[in-house]
Amino acid sequence: MEWSAVTDATDPQAAIDAASEQRERGRDPRVYEHTAGDVQEGIPFIGAGPGDPGLLTVTGKELVEDTDLVVHAGSLVNSELLDEYCADAETVSSVGKDLEELIPLMRDAHEDGRTVVRLHSGDPAIYGAALEQMDALEQEGVPTYIVPGVTSAFAASATLRTQLTLNGTANHVAFTRPQGRTLDPEDDHVSDFVEMGDVTTCIYLGTHAIPDVMDRLRDDGHDPDTPVTVVYHASWPDEDVIEGTVETIGEKVENAGYRASALVVIGDAGAGANYDRSYLYGDWANRSGSESEADD
């Protein structure tokens, strides 16, 4: 399959639809030509990490230091990162701008010969809305690619000095969000994940909804003593950790006054509790003679 691009100005929704149709016929050949660490032609969509400038990847740092225009996610990207690494670039916040404004902004700068970086918070793969921008740019002949970043669940796990997966406690991790404007009630599976028992449930974009989520968990019959940890602004200077349970965490978060920018972790793994020693560094590992699963 030949991956085509439209060079004339394209309606963003039409571009998204066209790109989706192309993917149904086959993969973009660049999938087989590049790895995630490659610096490629075009506009990189970079994960800025959860907040601390030091958690920007080396590749991301090199790209933002050598660019003319940085389109960033407003206050979700730490201003210290912009000040430290983007001092010589023009910076534009994407807050309040729709695709019809963002796409021509980045396209025109690229076509004028300027280097352009699109800076998302966390990692673009997790609730980043990056692909629709990339599809719209690609359909106008502007190549794009992704530079991964550190998502807030990993920063929260590091702050809590634990793992999201722990032997005998959590074999799975669910990244999810609660019902609201962009998620219908029937598509909210927080309760389903908690019911599985061995899942660490990480809730994004739901700080404002924590009391309601916990009420629904109790209504669904979940143990009110199930551990819940909320990490506000993970890795930022004003980071805060609030510990509680399904029964207590809603009131604690309301009392703290947080309405956004917190990561909710439900399950024993968030507390680093009740886990079993793994097999990796015991008799099983010594007998196997294999390192194939040593990083699992």
Q: Round to whole Å and give the CA distance between 46 and 59.
A: 9
Confidence of residue 273 (pLDDT cuts 50, 70, 90): confident
Q: What is the pLDDT of residues 81-95, one digit of tens each?
A: 999 999 999 999 999
Q: What is the pLDDT of residues 58-67, one digit of tens each?
A: 999 999 999 9
Residue 292 has what pLDDT?
55
Question: Taking the CA atoms of the chain, what radius of gyration do you get in angstroms?
Answer: 21
Q: What is the pLDDT of residues 173-197, one digit of tens each?
A: 999 998 766 556 777 899 999 999 9
Q: Inform me whether the pLDDT recorded for 202 exceeds 60.
A: yes
What's the sign of the alpha-carbon dihedral 65, 67, 68, 74? negative
The 3-state secondary structure of 148-177 reads CCCCHHHHHHHHCCCCCCECCCECEEEEEC
Mean pLDDT, residues 240-246 taken together: 97
Mean pLDDT, residues 264-271 taken together: 94
Q: Which helix (H) or strand (E) holds 202?
A: strand 199-203
Q: What is the pLDDT of residues 145-166, one digit of tens each?
A: 999 999 999 999 999 999 999 9
Residue 274 has what pLDDT?
84
Q: Among 164, 117, 169, 167, which residue's Cα sits nearest to residue 145?
A: 117
Q: Inform me whether the pLDDT recorded for 275 exceeds 80.
A: yes
Q: Round to whole Å and give the CA distance between 10 and 166.
A: 48
Q: In what order do the strands lie in the sheet with 144-147?
A: 90-93, 69-72, 116-120, 43-47, 144-147
Q: Round to whole Å and give the CA distance between 37 and 3.
A: 22
Residue 188 has what pLDDT?
81
Residue 293 has what pLDDT?
55
Q: Which helix (H) or strand (E) holds 276?
A: none
Mean pLDDT, residues 42-52 taken together: 97
Residue 6 has what pLDDT?
42
User: Which amino acid, residue 267?
Assistant: G
Q: What is the pLDDT of residues 214-237, one digit of tens each?
A: 999 999 999 999 999 999 999 999
Q: Inform me whether the pLDDT recorded for 76 exceeds 90.
A: yes
